[in-house]
Structure 1
Amino acid sequence: MQPVSTLPPPASALAPAPLDSFLSQKLRLWSLVAMVLLVYVHAYNLHSRYLQPWTPVDEALSPGTFVQYFLANGLLRFRIPILFAISGYLFAHHDASAPHRVRVKRRLRTLLLPYLLWSTFGLAFTWALEQYPATRQLVLSAELSIFGPGNALVSGYSPGELLLRWLLVPVPFQLWFLRSLLVYNLAYPWIRKAVERGPWVYFSVAGLLWFTEFGIPPLFEGTGLVFFALGVWLRKTEFNVLAPPRWFRLALFAAV
């Protein structure tokens, strides 16, 4: 009878199986495409500076404005869902690499630190623009303040308002993705358990949150919850993401 070893397993035993090389390339490609489109979409020049799916068209349509609405507020809205799904897939793939608390510490470095640095840069850059009449007008026209037209400039914020905008509601509002992704990473054990034990219930509720845009901003947003969990579910069920579904028809999809 051989003695039972009380030593912890070697690190190699905890390491996840490497991703299929072709799948890894696809995930990298689609991440890059989504990020490029993210920058492109936020470069639109429409009257409403912050478009939502239900934002009405409130200016005369020309070929230019039609293309901008069609791309920025329609066709290219897949970019955020696919980034959340890829993030959930990869986070679930590395489940065995380290305890969750260790992985969260890494995410604090790779998500929270860039979030705080870019939020600081956004505040400082906006404050600098406000120091000159011409660029101050640009800040006012962009309607960046969340406190209304009576408190439209960063230079007029109180210490509490500055802290709120630095930590939770940054001037570069696109940073909400990093904030939400960090929250999902923190909640990953519960998300994984819900997806594994009751996927139909979970996705029904999460899908409703996504459809209704429900959230408790800035700490909880249902926008990406269904897609992050979808990535987790695809990895945990070992779904073959490289094989196109039999029901998928490219021509029909393109027409729709």
Structure 2
Amino acid sequence: MPRYLVVQAPEDGVRLITLQRPEALNALNTELLAELAAELDSADRDPAIAVVVITGNRKAFAAGADIREMAERDLVGILNDPRVAHWQRIAAFSKPLIAAVNGFALGGGCELVMCADIVIAGEDARFGQPEINLGIIPGAGGTQRLLRAVGKPLAMQMVLTGESISARHAQQAGLVSEVSQPELTVERAMQIGAAIARKAPLAVRLAKEALLKAADTDLATGLRLERHAFTLLAGTADRAEGIRAFQEKRPAHFQGQ
């Protein structure tokens, strides 16, 4: 049983994971990250789970790393930081991952948001990388993913000043896909997750892979990968079912085959 997470049984193919360290604004300590990585590993293996939604509470999605824990580490501890492996496992999650964000998403919290494929933010959400204020820089992908998400000028401003941005600004910049009323953020994320869960599982997985490749490869290579995935899906039972369902004007019943 996780100590710092509340994990709900899948509903319509969607698992909801809630970060649960309210006394520390959901700061991401090593144990929480280990629990989250383990839960995502488990969800990746579970055929009943098609999508995972991660959220926090109304005050904070996650306000950053655990500063007290960081202060206790010397150089050797930093070089052998177990959190690196946890972050790698979280980023490697192969099914769609949705972040439902209210309140603060700062430092590691913002980096966790950027591991998600879709981000739904409440009007009150704030996103930032304030590590510069501690004499350090983001260490869980913040400099790399942020620049790819919002572009060089805004990423430079956020990382070098440590200032946060609003949900609306984050949406305009491309970090957030949709802004919601705070009380409806999780509900909206679950709705999107359920819609994805009704699609063909193989197509969803290959579509995610192709889209992620677009961020770190040239167009010609990306088009080859897309065509390869398209060809693989052409021979699946789900493709045949999708076409039949369209012709018969009924919902498709995909089996992941």
Larger RCO (CA under 8 A, 6+ residues apart): 1
On whether the aligned pair clears a TM of 0.5, the verdict is: no
TM normalised by structure 2 equals 0.28
Higher helix share: 1
Higher strand share: 2
If you compute each CA radius of gyration, which structure gives the higher value, 1 or 2?
A: 1
Q: Give the TM-score normalised by the residue count of structure 1.
A: 0.28
